[in-house]
A and B are shown apart, each in its own frame.
Chain A
């Protein structure tokens, strides 16, 4: 079974731009969560989608948004990029419930 895939793997943007990241969960997984990982803040929860609905949301500004499609694939968008948005963005998929989450390799976003 293929794992969680994320595209692109690396991205360089400039301040003020917007970016869209994509995540394809493991087949059969309907829950997709997004995390931001930085050296200073560690792994922080962004949001979680299940059946195309946002079910949980972390403490991030409204510039961070996401969506999930009917095939469970998910995208996250960051508008008006700031230098502090530079991070590794991780996507994780799971079955419904508190079971283990399977992480993708992440998208490394650099904002210049």
Chain B
């Protein structure tokens, strides 16, 4: 069945270093993937997305990599800042036009000053 999982539940990174958060998915039919950031007391906030016809997409300080061969997704955050401390979720959308998102369990990223 569909499942989206994360390799590590927690990650601590020194401020200024780069961080990588990984995510595995099992539904090969998924064609749209999103990374969300959730801070305490807030709803998830969109960070970056990628469609299955791409293998890399860059935003401001963030890069998402998609490896369809091994069904793996990663989020790279460059030059981490204290404000990057949050829980990060990957989510997949199984097919075009379907609003249902399947979320991973989340990784808590802590930036060490």
Contacts and interface: CB of A to CB of B under 8 A. Distances in A.
Interface in B62-113: 89, 91, 93, 96-106
A105 B45 CA distance: 10
A101 B100 contact: no
11 contacts: A31-B99, A42-B89, A45-B101, A45-B103, A50-B99, A90-B43, A96-B97, A98-B99, A102-B46, A103-B44, A103-B45
A42 B104 CA distance: 8
- Size bracket, chain B contacts: 20 to 34
Interface of B: 31-32, 34, 36, 41-46, 49, 89, 91, 93, 96-106
B100 to A, nearest CB: 5
A105 B99 contact: no
A75 interface: no
A42 B106 CA distance: 8
3 smallest A-B Cβ distances: which pairs?
A: A103-B43, A43-B103, A98-B32
